Structure 1
Amino acid sequence: MTNHTKPTLLISNVLPARPGDEAYNNICMRLWDRLLEAALPNWNVIREYAQEDGAEGAALRAQHADAIIIMGGEDVHPSLYGAPQGYEAEGRHWYRADRGQIALVDYAVRTGTPLLGICRGMQIINTALGGTLEQHIEGAHGTHTNNRILSDHRFIRHSVRVGEGTNLERALAPVLTDSELVISSAHHQRVDRLAQGLQVSAYAPDGTIEAIESIDAPVIGVQWHPEDPAADISQLHALLGHLDARRAPRLERASTTLVA
């Protein structure tokens, strides 16, 4: 039964499960369970599968949400940022899911609905708004991803420096030490050209863009996994608290949607 005193959080995944890949699905379930652990005390949670819903279905679900999270997953289809297929470490793409999650970003920007993108979710934000991705980071293993993560469930741990005066700094203020944070990383792609209307809000020591945010809308993306069970859960609580603090009454957002 829905608790109408709590705000509603829409969490978008690519698929219910990756076909025939139990090890990958186990990792995703661990991340999902951790996110639920942090969110359920203060949110009603709706889970959305973008490959099933597509753009129209995802946008309809967003109308019932007070905030949105786009979780990690497969690489974004390169045609959506003007690049070819056939790159190193390329896996299967889910184009309908990409379009569905791009629709969520468009909705959030248009209506002022707070949105957090995690890993792939950050890359979706940049792609949706016209940016591009570096398709494969040379030397990513050991610096940004662990090639054995499916067996040992261990993310790469490294620091990031959060930009002063950013919304991300305000969100993570309770857990930052001298503007730095130790994070859990698992990605082989990264933001290349930043989309117009976005700014960088955190960097890794090697210069990788680790977080981005909208200049005008309550939209933040982090390249890392705050929902890693081995990470300090206070990171996740801080980000969820920021989503809650930035949300507007749904009726107010509905009027914005009608005017658009």
Structure 2
Amino acid sequence: MARPTVGIIGNTHLINDQYPAQAVGEHNISAVAEVTGALPLLVPALPSAADIPALLNTFDGFILPGGRPNVHPRFYGQEPTEAHGTFDENRDELVLPLIRAAVEHGTAILGICRGFQEFNVAFGGSLHPEIRDLPGRLNHRMPPDGTLEEKFEHRHVVSLSPGGVFARVFGADEVLVNSLHGQGIDEVGERIVVEGYAPDGTHEAIHVAGAPGFALAVQWHPEWRAGEDPVSRPLFEAFGAALCRQKELQVSRKAS
């Protein structure tokens, strides 16, 4: 059987601050190739370049990675402010309906950081523009200084619902993770089940209720050295197992 294929959603990037391109972080690519065993392919975040039925027929799963631009607040009924930061509305236009379609289709889908926030917005939830401005909250943003290793180092624990989906994946009710985000969940979307919280109450791990396939998202960045991290590896292994099930199902459908 051929390797499963994973579409990693790209982010708009300017080469030399001028030439438009689509980019995917190499750690996302490595996590897919080395831990799940699937074939990673970039999906441009351009609605004009890909339609959702074609994407669902092409890929066994999708990763919605992090990205510096945020989900535009118009998608959850708010006006943009300076605190909302920059936007990539092409990605919003593609990914929000893709999430809903993938969930209904049973296609495996994993959200990371911005992808976590996209999960919530896709199902009618809203976002805080800046978590650190809320009373009692930690600063979850990427540290401004230091090496990549220092920026992605573990920063806080996440407490998980005992016996829940994530506790079963990790084999623990508490995990240690990195933290590199400014925004976070405000109103929880319909069908979104929260199973993980940071010590300050920030939402960190969610899944979609009633999804026939793998539909999980985390606020941290498990792609960073995923093959070595005791939390990241089982998450990508679980995603990989779901990809294989999806591939087998597709093969079975074609055979019949």
TM-score tier by shorter-chain length is: 0.7 to 0.9
Structure 1 residues 200 and 139, CA gap change in structure 2 (3 angstroms) = same
> Which residue identity is paired with 2:2?
T
Match of 2:231 among 226, 231, 235: 235
In the TM superposition, what is the alpha-carbon distance from 1:207 to its structure 2 partner? 0.3
> Which residue identity is paired with 2:158?
V
Q: What TM-score results when the alignment is normalised by the length of structure 1?
A: 0.80
The answer to whether the aligner puts 1:164 opposite 2:159 as a matched pair is no
Match of 1:72 among 59, 62, 66: 66
The answer to whether the aligner puts 1:10 opposite 2:26 as a matched pair is no
Q: Distance in 2 between matches of 1:95 and 1:29?
A: 19
| Cα shift readout 1:146-203 (whole Å, capped 9, x = no counterpart) | 3415x63213611101112222222222xx3xx1111011001001111111110100
Q: Distance in 2 between matches of 1:72 and 1:203?
A: 19
The answer to whether the aligner puts 1:136 opposite 2:130 as a matched pair is yes
The answer to whether the aligner puts 1:47 opposite 2:42 as a matched pair is yes
Instruction: Give matches, 1:28-47, under 5 Å.
Output: 29-32=25-28, 34-36=30-32, 38-39=34-35, 42-47=37-42
Instruction: Give matches, 1:43-192, under 5 Å.
Output: 43-50=38-45, 52-54=46-48, 56-73=50-67, 74-88=69-83, 90-139=84-133, 143-148=139-144, 152-153=147-148, 154-155=151-152, 157-173=155-171, 176=172, 179-192=173-186
Q: Distance in 2 between matches of 1:253 and 1:223?
A: 35
Answer whether contact 1:34 1:228 (CA < 8 A) is retained.
no
> Matched residue of 2:140: which SS?
coil
Which sits farther off after the overlay, 187-196 or 102-111? 102-111
In the TM superposition, what is the alpha-carbon distance from 1:83 to its structure 2 partner? 1.1
Q: Distance in 1 between matches of 2:49 and 2:123?
A: 15
> Matched residue of 1:211: which SS?
strand
Q: Distance in 2 between matches of 1:43 and 1:167?
A: 22
In the TM superposition, what is the alpha-carbon distance from 1:38 to its structure 2 partner? 3.0
Unmatched runs of 5 consecutive residues or more in structure 2: none
Structure 1 residues 186 and 35, CA gap change in structure 2 (3 angstroms) = same
Answer whether contact 2:61 2:109 (CA < 8 A) is retained.
yes
Q: Distance in 2 between matches of 1:166 and 1:253?
A: 31
- Aligned partner of 2:189 in structure 1 is 195
Identity %: 29
Unmatched runs of 5 consecutive residues or more in structure 1: 255-260
Q: Distance in 2 between matches of 1:168 and 1:253?
A: 30
- Aligned partner of 1:258 in structure 2 is none
Answer whether contact 1:70 1:117 (CA < 8 A) is retained.
yes
Answer whether contact 1:172 1:239 (CA < 8 A) is retained.
yes
> Matched residue of 2:81: which SS?
coil
- CA RMSD across the alignment: 3.0
Structure 1 residues 128 and 182, CA gap change in structure 2 (3 angstroms) = same
| Cα shift readout 1:114-151 (whole Å, capped 9, x = no counterpart) | 111000001001101111111111358963123415x6
> Matched residue of 1:138: which SS?
helix
Kindly tell me the number of residue pairs found equivalent between the two proteins.
239
Q: What TM-score results when the alignment is normalised by the length of structure 2?
A: 0.81
